[in-house]
């Protein structure tokens, strides 16, 4: 059975929206970081789907995916390191309480 490209794109779009919703509404900082990973993985699904079913299929999309995965890993590592530094100063991972500079 052949799955059409629009199904892949729809899954990616839904995943992206779920990730965006989570990143904007969740209160736990770790969940926020995970939601960002969801958004980045939506991109990966898109790229891989396009590299097979796109207008000009080719392997570049898969190579791009490798780069996005690597960079996403680095990004979440930095994010967690900063979160740990924050946790040491103020024992919370609740983003609602990060309001030192509200004005």
Binding site for another protein (CB under 8 A): 12, 16, 19-20, 23, 29, 32-33, 36, 39-40, 42-43, 46-47, 49-51, 54-58, 60-61, 63-64, 67-68, 71, 74-76, 78-79, 81-83, 85-86, 89-90, 95, 98, 100-101, 103
Q: Are 89 and 83 in contact, with CB atoms under 8 Å apart? A: no
Burial 4-15 (b: 16+ CB within 10 A, else e): eeeebbeebeeb
CB closer to another protein out of 2 and 58: 58
């Amino acid at each position: 059975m052949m799955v059409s490209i629009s199904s892949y794109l729809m899954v990616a779009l839904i995943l992206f929206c779920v990730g965006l919703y989570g990143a904007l509404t969740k209160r736990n900082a770790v969940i926020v970081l995970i939601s960002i990973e969801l958004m980045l993985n939506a991109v990966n699904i898109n790229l891989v789907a396009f590299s097979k079913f796109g207008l000009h299929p080719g392997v570049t999309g898969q190579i791009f995916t490798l780069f996005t995965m690597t960079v996403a890993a680095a990004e979440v590592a930095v994010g967690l390191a900063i979160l740990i530094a924050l946790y040491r100063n103020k024992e919370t991972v609740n983003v609602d309480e990060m309001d030192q500079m509200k004005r």
